[in-house]
Amino acid sequence: MSGMPSVTSAAVRESTVIPPQTRRRRFLPRLRPLQRGATAKAPKPKRNIIAVLREWHSRAGLVAFAFLIWLAGTGVLLTRSNDLGLDTARLDWPWLMDLYGLHATPPQSGFAAGGHWLASTNDYTLVDGKPLSTQVGAPLGMVADGDAQMPLLYIASPDSVVLIAPDGQRIDKLMPPILPVSTVRRIGTLKRDPHTVVVQDLDAYQSHDQGNTWSPVSPTDVDWSQPQALPQAQRDQALPYAKPRVIVEQVLIDLHSGRLFGPVGAWAITIIGFVAIVLAVSGIWMWWRIRQNRKRLTAR
């Protein structure tokens, strides 16, 4: 330790060797930029376009990095959604439904006939709280018919009348030309004969034989099926089938476009799209300029 000169002793030796004027002359130029402030920097060398592009290319790449992986991931899944069954699989995760702003709401009204209740949710048609194997789209009425051995329920929708057994088994589906009307507006039964089913679009037609034959009837002779407030017990039974569900493919589309996170998400992905364009163009430009410069240097 004693053989090595300490910092203090070196400074003392320098102060004794270098005169104070010379020392001031050396120190002042270093201090001057600090005195002028941060704005007075030494002039930078002029940068060429490749250097600028490279810098911005790097910045854009860093910004887009995570988003591009996100977009690529959702994009790959979307291209294979059919094979993976994502176009039919549905999700009902509560937090996801919260993001969509969807909440389970039981149906408030339904149709009653023959002591049975018909209710409808987004994904199910329910008879006495049990879902039918095949959904009936937009039901607009239900009537009961059939004998004691084979009771039948007729569920009308705009394009058909579906006949089901009270246990939910589908017996038949009446569509034009079996039905005398191209669109069903309402369904009912005759006042004088509750076993005669009537459908109406513009004109009303009645059938006594489960839809095999139809004949005109006056609409005033008919008890039309009307929506009624669903009893609380029916609502409670319908609640599990009223959970909102979203198809996985739709979730992927909304993730890919950023719409799952509202307008902010959509705008973020829009900006990332432009950043990706900048990356592509600046990359190609840099490659082209460097190639040109190399050619020029080789020519010399």
Partner 1 sequence: MPGDAPGSSARRALLRGLFALPLLAVAVRKAGAQDVELAKTFQTPEAFITEAFAPAAAPPPAMLMLDAARQAQISAVLGHPYPQARLRYWKAAGRSAWIFDDIGKEGYVPTTCGFIVANAAIEHARVLIYRESRGAQIGEPSFLRQLIGAKAAGNGLDKHVDNISGATLSVNMMQRMARAALVLDSLTT
- Contact status, residue 117 vs residue 231, Cβ threshold 8 Å: yes
Nearer CB in complex with partner 1: 63/181: 181
Cβ 20 to partner 1 shortest distance, Å: 56
Of residues 160 and 237, the one with the C-beta less far from partner 1: 160
Tell me the C-alpha distance between 155 and 175, whole Å.
12
Question: What is the distance between the alpha carbons of residues 106 and 231, in angstroms, rounded to a whole number?
Answer: 11
Q: Are 136 and 143 in contact (CB under 8 A)?
A: no
Contact 241, 123 (CB under 8 A): yes
Report which of 257, 208, 286, 296 is spatially closest to residue 75, judged by C-alpha positions.
257
Nearer of residues 40 and 287 to partner 1, judged by Cβ: 287
- Closer Cβ to partner 1, 78 or 112, answer by number: 78
Instruction: Give the type of residue at 212.
Output: N
Asked whether the beta carbons of 218 and 206 are under 8 A apart, the reply is: no
Return the number of the residue (74 or 250) whose C-beta is nearest partner 1. Answer: 250
User: CB of residue 180 vs partner 1: minimum separation in angstroms?
Assistant: 10
Give residues in contact with partner 1 (CB under 8 A). Answer: 82, 85, 87-89, 133-134, 169-173, 175-178, 182, 212, 277, 281
Alpha carbon distance 216, 181 (integer Å): 11
Q: Kindly state the smallest distance separating residue 145's Cβ from partner 1, in Å.
A: 15
Instruction: State in angstroms the smallest separation of the CB of 258 from partner 1.
Output: 16
State the minimum distance, in angstroms, from the CB of residue 34 to partner 1. 42
